[in-house]
Amino acid sequence: MQRNDCEKKNGRLELIVGSMFSGKTEELIRRLRRAEIARLKVECFKPSIDKREEEDSFVSHDRQTMSCTRVSASGEILLLAVEADVVGIDEAQFFDEGLTSVCQQLVSEGKRVVVAGLDMDFQAQPFGPVPSLCAVADEVEKLHAICVRCGSAAYVSHRLVSEKTRILLGEQREYEPLCRDCYEKYR
């Protein structure tokens, strides 16, 4: 069904951020499933660099899955989401800086765009296009994992291995969520 200009829905950008193990992908999947229940056309994307889990799915730490398409550059999303009402994007921090303009273009086309990603890297520095997405989002929800040292709300994903490269795909053997105080003590 094609909408004319009078019927075109307002687009919207929703951003879900936080440290690793905070439930970002779980929340992304929850929102996208609700859109499917509403019979909206949903298209989902993740960066091709993320090869930790199933190639064609988002996978949360509690093993929820949702089908998606891997793309190597953010611009591919514009080509693949033409028919979508709702666009889901996971692991935003691994995309190129063009992701912000891609999301803004999708929103201007009347699409609801739901994005999840780490807001900071292992050195507690803003990560990839996520800070600029925060600036232009209609809604930003920051989720918190639990600090494994003291039980407070986690602030950052602390790297447990000595690798210094900014991007190191990993899970619980490579990272742990820490609160601000514990991060300062153990880094």
Burial 82-98 (b: 16+ CB within 10 A, else e): eebbbbbbbbbbbbeee
Q: Which of 14, 27, 43, 91 is catalytic?
A: 91
**Coil, helix or strand at residue 124:** coil
Q: What is the spatial distance between Cα 18 and Cα 75, in angstroms, rounded to a whole number?
A: 25
Residue 91 designated active-site: yes
Q: What is the spatial distance between Cα 70 and Cα 26, in angstroms, rounded to a whole number?
A: 18
Q: What is the spatial distance between Cα 176 and Cα 19, in angstroms, rounded to a whole number?
A: 9
Catalytic residue numbers, as ranges: 91
